[in-house]
Amino acid sequence: MLKKFASVAGALALSTALVTPAMAELSGKLRIMSDMSNPAPRAIMEGLAADFDAMHPDLEVEVEIVDREAWKSQIRNALTADAPDVINWYAANRMGPYVNAGLFEDISDMYANGDLPGLDSVKGAMTLDGKQWGVPYTYYQWGIYYREDIFKELGLSEPTTFDEEIANCAKILESGRKCYTIGSKYLWTAGGWFDYMNMRTNGFDFHMQLATGQASWTSDEVRATFANWRKLIDMGAFIDDHQTYSWQEALPFFVKGEATAYLMGNFVVPHLREGGLTDDQIDFYQFPKIADVPMGEDAPTDTFHIASAAQNKEAARAFLQYVTSADVQTEINAGSGLGQLPVNSASSVDDDEFLNQGFEMLSNNATGGIAQFFDRDFPAEMASIGMEGLQEFMVFPDNLDDILNRLESARGRIYK
């Protein structure tokens, strides 16, 4: 993996587009701390560091890989004790604690000056308080994966509106199947359903207001979201007893054709293929339109940031330019690397049906904005309490008033 990446990265290093005069004068040490600890991401990170080092003879690039889960509790200490120059983290509200603590560098000028071309679709995900605090290097789409063969059997087409979605679901139920599989045992999958129901009912901006504590859980807008969601629940659209299944345990319902669709991230595709389904049997569509609001999407985004206490900010900025360039993003997200989507709209993706569909949707059709998923956009405690309520609603929808009152009470306490 390292040799393969080094050969490609070496070729990229010859590109004069990536080596500006300012970058060519970099010197000193660039310290990068990364949580890309799984084998393939680690190889990518080490390859990036080695290539950037080779591009700048007077610069020493040092990379330290830390465990991904441990990093979640170590990041604050790392940024305060002996801060590296560049670190990995996540976009949107997950940046909030470190932006508010003054630990991330404001790089708004890089976006304003055109130093980061191709990132317009995700600029909002890097923005807090009207400023930009880092750059994205990979993301992946969420949407509805469905049994194309069963849709053809039933004479169904991909819906573009919620009314069409409901009409399709009625025909699926008539055929003796469920419309959706889901495993909500670990709660977060219910968060995905809420994200889409809320963004499609009220728009991305309202969804972010709710995530940041500015909107009320007992508002008419939120109640409208749950009313739309309940239309599917009351139809019996979801598999029975989904609260007893993990997301993996819910896969066989889809593979066996007992349920025809799965709202999930693109990481589900290899599991569907491993289950014996071919690409001719499965397809993907964007979550349909409900209200006349721009179409926001869930696309969890991994990012690089400059520590405000960085010692070599010039080199750190140059590295951010390098890692967001179209060619580099193409390579690190290729199937032999992360197997996800490049964020730079000028990049290309592997010849994979679902990656291409996701890239097109996120680059051109995510008109509302890019959300990071419920448990990233909401503060950790609010996310935990919220997802418990969302799962409860899916099982006991008559409990809605109690659920919303609990969430509103938690909002008043947590965001205070």
Are 296 and 204 in contact by the 8 Å Cβ rule? The answer is yes
Q: What is the pLDDT of residue 336?
A: 63
Low-confidence ranges of the chain (pLDDT < 70): 1-24, 336
Phi, psi dihedrals of residue 90, rounded to the nearest 5°: -130, 165
Q: What is the pLDDT of residue 350?
A: 86
In angstroms, what is the C-alpha Rg of the chain? 22
Q: Output the CATH code of domain 2-139+300-347.
A: 3.40.190.10
Closest CA to 333 of 324, 344, 341: 341
Sign of CA dihedral 77, 83, 84, 86: positive
CATH homologous superfamily of 142-298+372-414 equals: Periplasmic binding protein-like II (3.40.190.10)
Are 51 and 12 in contact by the 8 Å Cβ rule? The answer is yes
Q: What is the pLDDT of residue 38?
A: 85
- 2-139+300-347 and 142-298+372-414 have identical folds: yes
Euclidean distance between CA atoms 262 and 122, whole angstroms: 25
Domains of the chain by residue range: 2-139+300-347, 142-298+372-414
- In terms of DSSP H, where are the helices of 113-187? 148-154, 162-174
